[in-house]
Amino acid sequence: MDIILKRYKTERKELIHILHEVQKEYGYIPVESVSAISKYLRISESEIFGILTFYKAFTLEPRGKHHITICMGTACHIRGAPKILEEVQRQLGIDAGETTPDRMFSLETVNCLGCCAIGPVAVIDGNYYSNITTKKINSIIKEYKKIE
Amino acid sequence: MKIIIDKKEIIAENNKTILDIARENDIYIPSLCNHSKLSPYGACRLCIVEIKGRKGYFPSCSIFPEEGMNIKTDSPKLKRLRRNILELILLEHPNACLICGEKENCDEYKSTIRKVSEVTGCVLCPSNGTCELQEVVNALNLKSIRFPSLYRDSEIRKNDPFFDRNYNLCILCGRCVRVCHEIRGVSVLSFVYRGSKTTIGTVLDWNLHELGCQFCGACVDVCPTGALTEKSKKYEQSPDRKERTICGICSMGCELEVEIRNGRILSCYPRKDGPVNEGQACVRGRFALKEIVCHPKRIHYPLIRKKKKLEEVSWDEAIDFIAEKLKTYKGSQVACILSSQVSCEDSYVFQKFANNVLKTKNIGTIAANPDLERFSQKSDCELMSNFRIRDISKAKVIFLIDSNVSVSNPIIWIEILKAVSNGAKLVVIDSLRWPYSRQATICLQIKPGTESYLFALIAKLLLGEEQEENFPNTEYFNFYREFLSKIQMSEALEAIGIEEKEAKKTAEILNEDGLKYFIFGSGFTQYSWGISNLTSLWNLSLQTQARVIPLTFESNLKGVLQTSRPFSAMKKDFAEIYKIISDGKIKALYSNGPIPLYSKKSIEFIVVQDSFMNENLMVADAVLPASTFLETEGTFVNVEGRIQKFNKVIDPLGESRPDWWIVAQLGKRMRGKGFDYKKPSEIMAEIKRKIPEFKNVSYNQLKKGIEIFINHKETGEKREEKLTPLKLPPLLMDINEEYPFILLFEYNSDIYRGFVLNREIKGMKLIRNSRWIQINTEDAKKLELTDGESIVVESELRRFKGYVRISEVVPSGIVLASFLSNEEKDFSAAHMMFFSGLKTLPIKIKREC
């Protein structure tokens, strides 16, 4: 934690950058880090908490090793995104916003990724998968499971 | 500039919002999130207006006037929009009562139905009709809501002391968040989560007291709904009268409004028009006051020791008994202790009695800054009253030294914060790191007792020939220059424990132009090196043309010191009185404050005049019940020298009487002259004749709100004070293996006479217990101590007990205890301190077994 903080100036505007780096490093924002950032940047803990709960990029609970995002925007929605979501939920045995008990996968929905032309879209660990179907997503997840 | 609002031509100032201007001109615009003391926010959108020539609707709370603006605040379209908005706001607020057809018929019964904790309508709401949401609903004449209502079903937060938070009633106006952040600088509350889940909260919904909230109550006072409500007032009925008075606990002099029903205090609010506090207060005045006045420890009847037991007697018997006894002692055998929390009138009569009737010269007051008065006299400077609280916000540079200012002098802290938000640079110099220091530009965490080294070093860095003219006497300047030239940079830095660049930056800040203030608290003067600290700071202030402000705690310390002027009796501080008593010369003691006794020593007869029972009274031979400041009238002089009239709010409890009345009775009984007072105004008339500082005081004028100050010296006047020769104090005694910690102490500012707020009141104990011994996190880990554990602090000669408080305030190697003159012997850090001659001590910590 200290190593991360040392890289930044003790100014208010660095908060989001620090949070991003903590999220990247730990996969989530541990509560202890909120206190540490609060002391370093001299911002109250509640303010930091307010900011980190506002942005979806930050999570307070650990995410899985592989993070799956399924677009539920209007375009993806009418092209069958809900069906795909259901399939993934069944496959992993978790609801959107949850993480599998073995911490391998976490699932999340977003309301638009901005690439409606190639919908329905799923993003796994930053890789975009376009025009997916239930079949396709099944094999992709299986692929990921196999790697482990 | 000229603008037009609703066809009315108005001359407007350009730094005021349209909403403010409209309100000043009696034009009503509904609004919920706006608050006159807070920055514009534009959250509720109810204050929208139309501007001719511009498209759309504008929130009047966040736009400023422009030449020739033509504004319409009311139109059918605006009405419809506002109603729509209000409907949406009310969607998540229990609204059945707000739009109920039987509303008028229900008013009578509202306050009797309120016996539930879950609020689902106005009839059950603890805010009891003082609700801005109700006002707005009435003003917009909203009769129905088209949408289905949505109850958030959020759990009511009841784990904090003093107030509850019910976010089912919250309309997310953000006032509490803003007041906490902008005015108090605490930022404990914040908006959390987002979208429809947005609520006001804290980190993971932790309790406020765990996050350092000091319960000033500012958020409760600005809440427009019943979301934040005072616990103790929840099930009370509405008050039958309201009285205004001055809070007499600390030296700020906040003006309060007290709500009363059937002679009982329901609640105390800070008044928005209070000249000092402007709608702010702190936990003492806002919440604790009510508990103090009717605390079970109040003494209701005079007591006399008969057969080793204190027994209730009549006033006549008590006065006879005491007068008889006191007559038998010579003046030099009697000591008197005067509380600095009694009114000027009480203090005058008490000193008159001590001087003219008892003929003693041993009169002491209890002050956190005993060296201050001595220094002021010696160097012939008016340290005590040379500032106005309001002026602090205009400062460009503020040095805040050794003070827990946000707790001990909250109003001063609010002004400092105003200055900081106006761009002032705040330098905090302290060996402790208080939570407020995060607002500082630079925070110098120095080693204890090295303040004078630091100031000498800064002086050396800044010294230039041109500063010579700042000094009244060239000889002194040469002497000063020579003294500074001897200071070695590296040695001084080592002693202080800071880096060179920090010192240089501090000097740089101090070299800037503009109004500069040095503000210091009791920690600066309470130790044996207080005089060196004062001298070095004083010299630096001459050199840099900064103003020096000493902070005092006690509500009327200045008044007590001023009223002692006509009497030849020597003013002594607590340590001196303690010494005189320890020497065994004193046979009788008469105190209207706490008594510095842990054993009776040679004293044969002790009279205590106090409002509260405490352990120390158990050695008293007679106890006289005094009224609190809410049960009598009189005047206080606050920290800036403002004379303030406080009023009688309720009748004296039991047989208790005002201090002046009790002393006058004793005076008369002992055949003293001039004790025939009938009311405090007669005493004030006498004070006016005797003491020139009070010559402008008039109860009537004070009542009308005319400002009267004790000292009319204007700030910024050229000072003619002398430079004082400086000697640096020896550095602290080294710690050793057996005694590895250094004990520092903090003056406890939460006392009212013999009553210790943060020991007796449950809520205050939770936020700042007087028996806490604060230890650094790492030290606690090493010693395997946990929060709240009972420990013993031992120096070579003495010991005392307390409870562990793991905190970030103290650096590693330092332990902080609270200093209280009337604590039980077992828990008294003060005892150890007096014994050591007010030096810090090497100590060790043991678990209590």
For residue B818, give the CATH number of its domain.
Answer: 2.40.40.20
Return the H-helix or E-strand segment holding B163: strand B163-165
Nearest of B171, B159, B281, B280 to residue B208 by alpha carbon: B159
- pLDDT for the residue numbered B551: 87
Beta strands B228-230; B199-201: pairing state? unpaired
Cα distance from N-terminal residue to C-terminal residue, chain B? 75
Is residue B607 within 8 Å of B590, Cβ to Cβ? yes
The residue of chain B nearest to residue A53, with distances taken between CA atoms, is: B193
Q: How far is A34 from chain B (nearest CA, A)?
A: 9
Q: Which residues contact B411 (CB under 8 A, 6 or more apart)?
A: B252, B254, B276, B277, B280, B389
Beta strands B751-752; B755-756: pairing state? antiparallel
Q: For testing the chain B interface, which of A19, A44, A60 should be mutated: the one with the most B CBs within 10 Å?
A: A44
Q: Is A46 on the interface with B (CB under 8 A)?
A: yes
Q: Spell out which residues of chain A touch residue B445, defining contact as CB-CB under 8 Å.
A: none
Q: Is A11 on the interface with B (CB under 8 A)?
A: no
- pLDDT for the residue numbered B735: 74
Helices A134-147 and A81-92: crossing angle in degrees, nearest 10, is 30
ipTM of the complex: 0.88
Q: What is the pLDDT of residues B785-842, one digit of tens each?
A: 999 999 999 988 888 999 999 998 999 999 999 988 778 878 888 878 777 777 778 8
CA–CA dist B443, B429 (Å, integer): 6
Residues B347 and B379 in one domain: no
> Helix or strand or coil: residue B773?
strand
Residues B639 and B591 in one domain: yes
The residue of chain B nearest to residue A50, with distances taken between CA atoms, is: B192
Q: Let me know if residue B487 belongs to a domain.
A: yes
Q: Is B438 on the interface with A (CB under 8 A)?
A: yes
Domain boundary among B550, B568, B596: B550
Q: Is A47 on the interface with B (CB under 8 A)?
A: yes
Q: Given the structure tokens 């205890």, which residue do they identify?
A: B817
CA–CA dist B395, B412 (Å, integer): 13
Residues B349 and B450 in one domain: no
From the options 3.40.30.10, 3.40.1710.10, 3.40.50.140, 3.40.220.10, give the CATH code of A66-147.
3.40.30.10
Report the pLDDT averaged over residues A112-139: 89
Cα distance from N-terminal residue to C-terminal residue, chain A? 28
CA–CA dist B122, B96 (Å, integer): 8
Q: Let me know if residue B600 belongs to a domain.
A: yes
- How would you label A73-104 residue by residue, b for 16+ Cβ within 10 Å and e otherwise? bebbbebebeebbebbeebbebeeebbeeeee
CA–CA dist B99, B280 (Å, integer): 33
Residues B456 and B473 in one domain: yes
Residue B258's domain comprises: 239-293
Residues B650 and B602 in one domain: yes
Residues B534 and B404 in one domain: yes
Nearest of A25, A10, A132, A3 to residue B442 by alpha carbon: A10
Are the beta carbons of A46 and B193 separated by less than 8 Å?
A: no
Nearest of B269, B152, B165 to residue B208 by alpha carbon: B165
Q: Let me know if residue B466 belongs to a domain.
A: yes
Q: Let me know if residue B683 belongs to a domain.
A: yes
CA–CA dist B354, B565 (Å, integer): 14
CA–CA dist B252, B241 (Å, integer): 25
| Position B843, amino acid | I
What's the total number of domains in chain B?
4
Interface of A with B in 112-131 (CB under 8 A): none
Is residue B573 within 8 Å of B365, Cβ to Cβ? yes
| Number of other CB atoms surrounding residue B641 within 10 Å | 22
Are the beta carbons of B181 and A47 separated by less than 8 Å?
A: yes
Structure tokens at B685: 């008339």
Q: How far is B760 from chain A (nearest CA, A)?
A: 30
Phi, psi of B630 (to 5 degrees): -85, -10
Interface of A with B in 52-71 (CB under 8 A): 53-54, 60
Q: Spell out which residues of chain B touch residue A31, defining contact as CB-CB under 8 Å.
A: 203-204
Are the beta carbons of A44 and B186 separated by less than 8 Å?
A: yes
Q: What is the pLDDT of residues B487-538, one digit of tens each?
A: 888 888 988 899 999 999 999 999 988 999 999 988 888 888 888 888 888 8
Q: Spell out which residues of chain B touch residue A47, defining contact as CB-CB under 8 Å.
A: 181, 187, 190
Q: Given the structure tokens 């008065």, which residue do they identify?
A: B373
Comparing CB atoms, the residue among A39, A46, A53 nearest residue B193 is A53
Q: Let me know if residue B387 belongs to a domain.
A: yes
CA–CA dist A117, A71 (Å, integer): 12
Interface of B with A in 575-604 (CB under 8 A): none
Return the H-helix or E-strand segment holding B201: strand B199-201
| Position B19, amino acid | L
Q: In sequence order, what are the beta bridge partners of B623?
A: B303, B608
Q: How far is A39 from chain B (nearest CA, A)?
A: 8
Q: Spell out which residues of chain A touch residue B186, defining contact as CB-CB under 8 Å.
A: 44
Nearest of B14, B48, B15 to residue B33 by alpha carbon: B48
Comparing CB atoms, the residue among A39, A42, A45 nearest residue B203 is A45
Is residue A102 within 8 Å of A93, Cβ to Cβ? no
| Number of other CB atoms surrounding residue B739 within 10 Å | 18
Interface of B with A in 314-343 (CB under 8 A): none
The whole-number mean pLDDT for each consecutive block of 10 residues of chain B, a chain of 849 residues, reads 92 92 93 93 93 93 92 94 94 90 81 78 86 93 90 92 94 95 94 92 93 93 94 87 93 94 93 92 94 92 90 94 92 89 93 91 74 64 70 94 93 95 94 92 91 90 76 73 85 89 93 91 85 85 85 86 77 73 85 71 86 83 94 92 92 94 94 91 93 86 86 46 61 76 89 90 92 94 92 89 93 90 80 75 85
- pLDDT for the residue numbered B718: 41
Q: Which residues contact B301 (CB under 8 A, 6 or more apart)?
A: B312, B313, B625, B654, B655
Comparing CB atoms, the residue among B194, B203, B439 nearest residue A49 is B203
Q: Given the structure tokens 């207080």, which residue do they identify?
A: B530
Structure tokens at B92: 């998540």
Interface of B with A in 173-232 (CB under 8 A): 181, 186-194, 201-204, 211
Q: Is A31 on the interface with B (CB under 8 A)?
A: yes
Q: How far is A46 from chain B (nearest CA, A)?
A: 5
Helices (H) and strands (E) in chain A, counts: 7, 4
Q: Is A48 on the interface with B (CB under 8 A)?
A: yes
CA–CA dist B517, B405 (Å, integer): 14
Is residue B571 within 8 Å of B374, Cβ to Cβ? no
Q: How far is A121 from chain B (nearest CA, A)?
A: 24
Q: Spell out which residues of chain B touch residue A43, defining contact as CB-CB under 8 Å.
A: 187, 438
What contacts 24+ positions apart, CB below 8 Å, involve B511-516? B511/B462, B511/B544, B512/B396, B512/B397, B512/B425, B513/B396, B514/B395, B514/B396, B514/B397, B515/B391, B515/B394, B515/B395, B515/B396, B515/B397, B515/B547, B516/B395, B516/B396, B516/B397, B516/B398, B516/B399, B516/B544, B516/B545, B516/B546, B516/B547
Are the beta carbons of A46 and B189 separated by less than 8 Å?
A: yes
Residues B271 and B316 in one domain: no
Q: Spell out which residues of chain B touch residue A44, defining contact as CB-CB under 8 Å.
A: 186-188, 190, 211, 438
Q: Spell out which residues of chain B touch residue A49, defining contact as CB-CB under 8 Å.
A: 190, 192, 201-204
Residues B381 and B362 in one domain: no
Is residue B17 within 8 Å of B61, Cβ to Cβ? yes
Is residue B554 within 8 Å of B367, Cβ to Cβ? yes
Nearest of B772, B747, B765 to residue B833 by alpha carbon: B747
Q: How far is A120 from chain B (nearest CA, A)?
A: 25
Q: How far is B816 from chain A (nearest CA, A)?
A: 21
Are the beta carbons of A44 and B188 separated by less than 8 Å?
A: yes
* CATH number of the domain that residue B335 is part of: 3.40.50.740
Are the beta carbons of B186 and A45 separated by less than 8 Å?
A: no
Q: How far is A57 from chain B (nearest CA, A)?
A: 13
The residue of chain B nearest to residue A44, with distances taken between CA atoms, is: B187
Phi, psi of B70 (to 5 degrees): -115, 110
Is residue A11 within 8 Å of A37, Cβ to Cβ? no
Residues B587 and B601 in one domain: yes
Q: What is the DSSP letter of B182?
A: I
The residue of chain A nearest to residue B199, with distances taken between CA atoms, is: A50
Q: Spell out which residues of chain B touch residue A53, defining contact as CB-CB under 8 Å.
A: 192-194
H runs (alpha helix) in B633-785? 659-669, 680-690, 699-703, 757-760, 762-768, 777-783
Comparing CB atoms, the residue among A43, A44, A49 nearest residue B192 is A49
- How would you label B700-709 residue by residue, b for 16+ Cβ within 10 Å and e otherwise? eebeeeeebb
Structure tokens at B70: 């033509």
| Number of other CB atoms surrounding residue B212 within 10 Å | 18
Q: Is B433 on the interface with A (CB under 8 A)?
A: no
Q: Let me know if residue B773 belongs to a domain.
A: yes
Q: Which residues contact A60 (CB under 8 A, 6 or more apart)?
A: A28, A29, A31, A52, A53, B204
- pLDDT for the residue numbered A97: 83
Q: How far is A28 from chain B (nearest CA, A)?
A: 15
Q: How far is B201 from chain A (nearest CA, A)?
A: 7
pLDDT exceeds cutoff 50 at A77? yes
Q: Is A39 on the interface with B (CB under 8 A)?
A: yes
Domain coordinates in residue numbering, chain A: 2-54, 66-147
